[in-house]
Protein backbone atom coordinates (compact mmCIF):
# COMPACT_ATOMS: atom_id res chain seq x y z
CA UNK A 1 0.00 0.00 0.00
CA UNK A 2 2.83 2.40 0.82
CA UNK A 3 3.79 2.43 -2.88
CA UNK A 4 0.54 4.28 -3.65
CA UNK A 5 1.97 7.31 -1.91
CA UNK A 6 4.75 7.77 -4.44
CA UNK A 7 2.26 10.40 -5.59
CA UNK A 8 0.06 12.36 -3.20
CA UNK A 9 -3.31 10.77 -2.62
CA UNK A 10 -6.67 12.48 -2.27
CA UNK A 11 -8.87 9.90 -0.56
CA UNK A 12 -12.68 10.02 -0.72
CA UNK A 13 -14.62 8.53 2.20
CA UNK A 14 -18.02 6.90 1.70
CA UNK A 15 -20.40 5.20 4.12
CA UNK A 16 -21.58 1.93 2.57
CA UNK A 17 -25.32 1.98 1.95
CA UNK A 18 -25.73 5.76 2.13
CA UNK A 19 -28.17 6.42 0.58
CA UNK A 20 -28.32 2.80 -0.67
CA UNK A 21 -25.91 0.06 -1.79
CA UNK A 22 -26.38 0.67 -5.52
CA UNK A 23 -25.56 4.37 -5.06
CA UNK A 24 -22.44 3.46 -3.08
CA UNK A 25 -21.21 1.27 -5.93
CA UNK A 26 -21.92 3.96 -8.52
CA UNK A 27 -20.35 6.72 -6.42
CA UNK A 28 -17.15 4.79 -5.72
CA UNK A 29 -16.74 3.81 -9.36
CA UNK A 30 -17.20 7.47 -10.36
CA UNK A 31 -14.62 8.58 -7.80
CA UNK A 32 -12.13 6.07 -9.17
CA UNK A 33 -12.88 7.24 -12.71
CA UNK A 34 -12.27 10.82 -11.55
CA UNK A 35 -8.76 9.88 -10.46
CA UNK A 36 -8.99 8.57 -6.89
CA UNK A 37 -6.51 5.72 -6.47
CA UNK A 38 -7.42 4.95 -2.84
CA UNK A 39 -10.94 5.11 -1.40
CA UNK A 40 -12.14 4.54 2.17
CA UNK A 41 -15.44 2.79 2.87
CA UNK A 42 -17.19 2.96 6.22
CA UNK A 43 -19.12 -0.05 7.53
CA UNK A 44 -22.29 1.44 9.05
CA UNK A 45 -22.43 1.23 12.84
CA UNK A 46 -25.08 2.30 15.33
CA UNK A 47 -22.79 4.32 17.59
CA UNK A 48 -19.89 5.80 15.57
CA UNK A 49 -18.41 7.69 18.52
CA UNK A 50 -15.32 8.94 16.69
CA UNK A 51 -17.26 10.58 13.85
CA UNK A 52 -18.84 13.98 13.43
CA UNK A 53 -22.53 14.73 12.84
CA UNK A 54 -22.44 14.33 9.05
CA UNK A 55 -20.87 10.86 9.15
CA UNK A 56 -23.08 9.79 12.06
CA UNK A 57 -26.12 10.80 10.01
CA UNK A 58 -24.81 8.79 7.06
CA UNK A 59 -24.44 5.73 9.29
CA UNK A 60 -28.00 6.16 10.54
CA UNK A 61 -29.38 6.50 7.01
CA UNK A 62 -27.65 3.30 5.93
CA UNK A 63 -28.91 1.40 8.98
CA UNK A 64 -32.46 2.68 8.50
CA UNK A 65 -32.28 0.97 5.14
CA UNK A 66 -31.80 -2.32 7.05
CA UNK A 67 -28.26 -2.76 5.72
CA UNK A 68 -26.54 -5.77 7.28
CA UNK A 69 -22.82 -6.45 7.52
CA UNK A 70 -23.23 -9.20 4.91
CA UNK A 71 -24.98 -6.77 2.55
CA UNK A 72 -22.31 -4.13 3.14
CA UNK A 73 -19.57 -6.60 2.26
CA UNK A 74 -21.56 -7.68 -0.79
CA UNK A 75 -21.58 -4.03 -1.83
CA UNK A 76 -17.79 -4.01 -1.57
CA UNK A 77 -17.72 -7.16 -3.69
CA UNK A 78 -19.82 -5.40 -6.34
CA UNK A 79 -17.31 -2.54 -6.41
CA UNK A 80 -14.38 -4.93 -6.60
CA UNK A 81 -15.98 -6.81 -9.50
CA UNK A 82 -15.84 -3.60 -11.54
CA UNK A 83 -12.70 -1.84 -10.30
CA UNK A 84 -9.25 -2.57 -8.95
CA UNK A 85 -9.03 0.76 -7.07
CA UNK A 86 -7.37 0.34 -3.67
CA UNK A 87 -9.98 0.10 -0.91
CA UNK A 88 -9.65 0.65 2.83
CA UNK A 89 -12.44 -0.40 5.17
CA UNK A 90 -13.31 1.69 8.23
CA UNK A 91 -15.12 -0.23 10.97
CA UNK A 92 -15.82 0.00 14.66
CA UNK A 93 -14.35 -2.92 16.57
CA UNK A 94 -17.66 -4.50 17.58
CA UNK A 95 -18.28 -5.64 14.01
CA UNK A 96 -15.10 -7.72 13.47
CA UNK A 97 -15.20 -8.86 17.11
CA UNK A 98 -18.69 -10.36 16.72
CA UNK A 99 -17.87 -11.65 13.22
CA UNK A 100 -14.68 -13.21 14.59
CA UNK A 101 -11.34 -11.52 13.99
CA UNK A 102 -9.87 -14.26 11.82
CA UNK A 103 -13.07 -14.86 9.86
CA UNK A 104 -13.44 -11.13 9.25
CA UNK A 105 -9.81 -10.88 8.14
CA UNK A 106 -10.30 -13.75 5.70
CA UNK A 107 -13.47 -12.16 4.30
CA UNK A 108 -11.94 -8.74 3.68
CA UNK A 109 -8.79 -10.32 2.22
CA UNK A 110 -11.00 -12.17 -0.27
CA UNK A 111 -12.40 -8.77 -1.28
CA UNK A 112 -8.86 -7.45 -1.84
CA UNK A 113 -9.23 -4.85 0.88
CA UNK A 114 -5.87 -3.15 1.34
CA UNK A 115 -6.24 -2.10 4.97
CA UNK A 116 -8.59 -1.69 7.91
CA UNK A 117 -9.05 1.37 10.14
CA UNK A 118 -10.70 0.85 13.54
CA UNK A 119 -11.32 4.23 15.23
CA UNK A 120 -12.29 2.81 18.64
CA UNK A 121 -9.62 0.11 18.98
CA UNK A 122 -7.05 1.18 21.61
CA UNK A 123 -3.41 0.71 20.72
CA UNK A 124 -2.85 -1.53 23.72
CA UNK A 125 -5.64 -3.90 22.61
CA UNK A 126 -4.92 -4.02 18.87
CA UNK A 127 -2.39 -6.86 18.66
CA UNK A 128 -4.88 -9.74 18.27
CA UNK A 129 -6.77 -8.15 15.39
CA UNK A 130 -3.57 -6.84 13.81
CA UNK A 131 -2.12 -10.36 13.82
CA UNK A 132 -5.31 -11.85 12.33
CA UNK A 133 -5.27 -9.31 9.52
CA UNK A 134 -1.55 -9.78 8.90
CA UNK A 135 -2.03 -13.55 8.46
CA UNK A 136 -4.34 -12.71 5.56
CA UNK A 137 -2.16 -9.97 4.07
CA UNK A 138 -4.25 -7.00 5.26
CA UNK A 139 -2.83 -4.02 7.14
CA UNK A 140 -4.34 -2.67 10.36
CA UNK A 141 -3.89 1.05 9.78
CA UNK A 142 -2.99 3.26 12.71
CA UNK A 143 -4.73 6.47 13.79
CA UNK A 144 -2.48 9.01 15.48
CA UNK A 145 -4.13 11.62 17.68
CA UNK A 146 -2.66 14.56 19.59
CA UNK A 147 -0.10 13.18 22.03
CA UNK A 148 3.40 13.58 23.38
CA UNK A 149 6.30 12.57 21.12
CA UNK A 150 6.93 9.57 23.38
CA UNK A 151 3.33 8.37 23.07
CA UNK A 152 3.34 8.95 19.31
CA UNK A 153 6.48 6.83 18.96
CA UNK A 154 4.81 4.01 20.92
CA UNK A 155 1.62 4.13 18.83
CA UNK A 156 3.32 4.15 15.43
CA UNK A 157 5.93 1.48 16.22
CA UNK A 158 3.86 -1.49 14.93
CA UNK A 159 2.12 0.49 12.17
CA UNK A 160 1.94 -0.62 8.56
CA UNK A 161 0.61 0.89 5.33
CA UNK A 162 0.08 4.53 6.24
CA UNK A 163 -0.69 6.65 9.29
CA UNK A 164 -3.94 8.57 9.72
CA UNK A 165 -3.83 11.85 11.64
CA UNK A 166 -7.19 12.58 13.22
CA UNK A 167 -8.57 14.96 14.22
CA UNK A 168 -7.00 17.52 11.90
CA UNK A 169 -5.85 20.26 14.25
CA UNK A 170 -5.23 23.88 13.24
CA UNK A 171 -2.06 24.01 11.18
CA UNK A 172 0.19 25.67 13.83
CA UNK A 173 -0.63 22.73 16.14
CA UNK A 174 -0.68 20.12 13.38
CA UNK A 175 2.86 20.84 12.20
CA UNK A 176 4.59 19.84 15.49
CA UNK A 177 2.45 16.69 15.63
CA UNK A 178 3.49 15.70 12.12
CA UNK A 179 7.13 16.45 12.98
CA UNK A 180 6.88 14.06 15.94
CA UNK A 181 5.38 11.39 13.69
CA UNK A 182 8.14 11.88 11.10
CA UNK A 183 10.74 11.44 13.83
CA UNK A 184 9.24 8.07 14.77
CA UNK A 185 8.12 6.60 11.43
CA UNK A 186 8.82 6.81 7.71
CA UNK A 187 5.30 5.70 6.74
CA UNK A 188 3.14 8.04 4.63
CA UNK A 189 0.90 10.39 6.61
CA UNK A 190 -2.75 11.03 5.77
CA UNK A 191 -4.73 13.83 7.41
CA UNK A 192 -8.49 13.46 7.78
CA UNK A 193 -10.37 16.64 6.86
CA UNK A 194 -14.15 17.06 7.11
CA UNK A 195 -14.22 19.12 3.91
CA UNK A 196 -11.53 20.88 1.95
CA UNK A 197 -11.10 23.64 -0.55
CA UNK A 198 -8.17 24.23 -2.85
CA UNK A 199 -6.45 26.64 -0.46
CA UNK A 200 -6.58 24.16 2.42
CA UNK A 201 -5.28 21.35 0.21
CA UNK A 202 -2.39 23.48 -1.01
CA UNK A 203 -1.47 24.56 2.52
CA UNK A 204 -1.27 20.95 3.71
CA UNK A 205 0.46 19.56 0.63
CA UNK A 206 4.05 20.17 1.85
CA UNK A 207 3.26 18.39 5.15
CA UNK A 208 1.55 15.12 4.20
CA UNK A 209 1.26 12.43 1.55
CA UNK A 210 -2.51 12.07 1.69
CA UNK A 211 -5.72 13.90 2.53
CA UNK A 212 -8.91 12.01 3.32
CA UNK A 213 -12.14 13.91 2.75
CA UNK A 214 -14.41 12.68 5.51
CA UNK A 215 -17.66 14.50 4.78
CA UNK A 216 -17.49 15.64 1.16
CA UNK A 217 -19.20 12.52 -0.20
CA UNK A 218 -21.69 11.69 2.59
CA UNK A 219 -24.58 14.04 1.86
CA UNK A 220 -27.01 11.15 1.51
CA UNK A 221 -28.69 12.83 -1.44
CA UNK A 222 -29.37 10.92 -4.63
CA UNK A 223 -26.86 12.93 -6.64
CA UNK A 224 -25.50 12.03 -10.05
CA UNK A 225 -22.31 10.04 -9.27
CA UNK A 226 -20.23 11.94 -11.83
CA UNK A 227 -21.26 15.28 -10.31
CA UNK A 228 -20.59 14.00 -6.79
CA UNK A 229 -17.11 12.86 -7.83
CA UNK A 230 -16.21 16.09 -9.61
CA UNK A 231 -14.24 17.54 -6.63
CA UNK A 232 -11.91 14.54 -6.75
CA UNK A 233 -10.28 15.65 -10.00
CA UNK A 234 -9.98 19.31 -9.04
CA UNK A 235 -8.64 18.79 -5.51
CA UNK A 236 -6.35 15.92 -6.48
CA UNK A 237 -4.73 18.09 -9.14
CA UNK A 238 -4.30 20.95 -6.66
CA UNK A 239 -2.80 18.59 -4.08
CA UNK A 240 -0.33 16.96 -6.45
CA UNK A 241 0.72 20.26 -8.01
CA UNK A 242 1.58 21.91 -4.68
Q: Which position among 18, 51, 209, 215 bears the catalytic label?
A: 51
All residues at 6 or more sequence positions from 232 whose CB lies less than 8 Å from its CB, including other chains: 10, 12, 31, 34, 35, 36
Q: How many CA atoms lie within 13 A of 206 on its CB side?
A: 4
CA 191/CA 209 separation, integer angstroms:
8
Nearest to 115, CA basis, from 34, 16, 38, 9? 38
CA 154/CA 174 separation, integer angstroms:
19
Q: Which position among 40, 139, 177, 215 bears the catalytic label?
A: 40
φ, ψ for residue 33, nearest 5 deg: -65, -30
Q: Does the annotation mark 40 as catalytic?
A: yes
Instruction: For CA atoms 189, 118, 40, 15, give the dihedral sign.
Output: negative
For residue 229, the Cα-to-chain-centroid distance in whole angstroms is 16
Q: Does the annotation mark 209 as catalytic?
A: no
Q: Coil, strand, or helix at residue 9?
A: strand
CA 40/CA 53 separation, integer angstroms:
18
Residues annotated catalytic, as ranges = 40, 51
Amino acid sequence: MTKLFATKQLIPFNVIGDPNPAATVANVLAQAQAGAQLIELGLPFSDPVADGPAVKAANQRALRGQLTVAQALATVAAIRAQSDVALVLVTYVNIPFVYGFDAFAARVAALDITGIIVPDLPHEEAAEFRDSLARHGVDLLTIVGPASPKRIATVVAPARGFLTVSPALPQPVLEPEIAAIRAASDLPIVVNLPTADTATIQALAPLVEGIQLTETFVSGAAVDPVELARPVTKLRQAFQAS
